Amino acid sequence: MVKWFVFAKDIVKGPYETQEIKSQHRSGEIKGTSLVWGRLVPDWMNASEWVDQVDGLISKMDIYSDDDRAWHYSYESETYGPYKRVELIEELVNVKIHDRVHLWTTGMEDWSPLFEFHDILDDIGINQRAHKRAHIEGTVLVTKSTGEVTAGKLSTISQEGLGFYGMINLFPGEAVTIEIISTHFKTHLRLSATIKYVSEKYFIGVRFESPSSEVQSQIIDYVRNFDESTQTYAQAA
């Protein structure tokens, strides 16, 4: 089933099902000038335009499986695969030392450490104490080298990078500038980054590139004080 995100007033919300957005658009909760994005469209589109076109987009949708992409992993100098994503998760659950695991899938320039794949860490049950990261609400604005700017919904963040749901026009290895917008930070955080991977569900993994000490300290403070048990941020005293 296709999921959609809505971008309005610098905030990305979702995922929503198709009927949810239609209903909220009819009620006026989602304005016609809001933007909607999902994997069936190449970029954000006006909500009124989306309402007019979405049934046609869905009717033309190819049969799609989130498991089509082939994944490989390396461990102790050996490589394994290819696996569908669900098979990869089953394999990684049984690996004893996860910090020795690297992953590769179609579209990636090179192997990357498992700990850069925040969504996969969640799926295999590695808790946030084992690898310090935190869930976060907010929006990320991504500026490509062409000057094109688009938005995504924040999901997780660590000292090394972040994960978000977003656009299909980003590619592994691409250098971008990002702006993190979240009520958990005193200001918008701006920094350079590299796209590490784009999952089948368009979960995008980003690695920070030489963040300033001020930006880094705010991120570290947030991750350190995030309470995994309650999924909330505890403001440091």
Is residue 18 located within the same domain as residue 97?
no
Residue-range definition of the domain harbouring residue 77:
71-124
The answer to whether residue 166 is domain-embedded is yes
Is residue 117 located within the same domain as residue 206?
no
The answer to whether residue 38 is domain-embedded is yes
Give the model's pLDDT for residue 14: 86
Q: How far apart, in whole angstroms, are the C-alpha atoms of residue 185 and residue 50?
A: 33
Q: In this structure, what token pair is assigned to residue 143?
A: 């500026």
Of the candidates 82, 101, 124, which is a domain's last residue? Answer: 124
Is residue 154 located within the same domain as residue 226?
yes
Chain-centroid distance of CA 234 in Å reads: 23
Element (H, E) at 37: strand 35-38
Q: Whole-prediction pTM value?
A: 0.69
Is residue 88 located within the same domain as residue 166?
no
The answer to whether the beta carbons of residues 181 and 139 sit under 8 Å apart is: yes
Give the model's pLDDT for residue 233: 52
Q: In this structure, what token pair is assigned to residue 36?
A: 């909607």
The answer to whether residue 66 is domain-embedded is no
| Nearest CA among 67, 83, 61, 82 for reference residue 3 | 61
Is residue 152 located within the same domain as residue 200?
yes
Give the model's pLDDT for residue 234: 56
Give, for all 237 residues of the chain, the pLDDT tens digit: 678 999 998 888 888 999 999 999 999 999 989 999 887 887 789 999 999 999 988 886 653 444 467 999 999 999 999 999 889 999 999 998 898 999 999 878 889 999 888 889 888 887 655 567 888 999 999 999 999 888 899 999 999 999 998 776 788 899 999 999 999 999 999 999 999 888 877 789 999 999 999 999 999 999 988 865 455 555 544
Is residue 229 located within the same domain as residue 139?
yes
Give the model's pLDDT for residue 187: 93
Of the candidates 13, 32, 59, which is a domain's last residue? Answer: 59
The answer to whether residue 64 is domain-embedded is no
Q: How far apart, in whole angstroms, are the C-alpha atoms of residue 201 and residue 79?
A: 25
Give the model's pLDDT for residue 121: 87
Q: How far apart, in whole angstroms, are the C-alpha atoms of residue 160 and residue 193?
A: 10
Counted domains in the chain: 3
The answer to whether residue 150 is domain-embedded is yes
Give the model's pLDDT for residue 127: 64
Is residue 39 located within the same domain as residue 79?
no
Is residue 141 located within the same domain as residue 203?
yes
| Nearest CA among 165, 99, 106 for reference residue 126 | 99
CATH of the domain at 180: 2.40.10.220
Give the model's pLDDT for residue 22: 95
Helix (H, G, I), strand (E, B) or coil at 237: coil
Is residue 160 located within the same domain as residue 100?
no
Element (H, E) at 140: strand 139-143
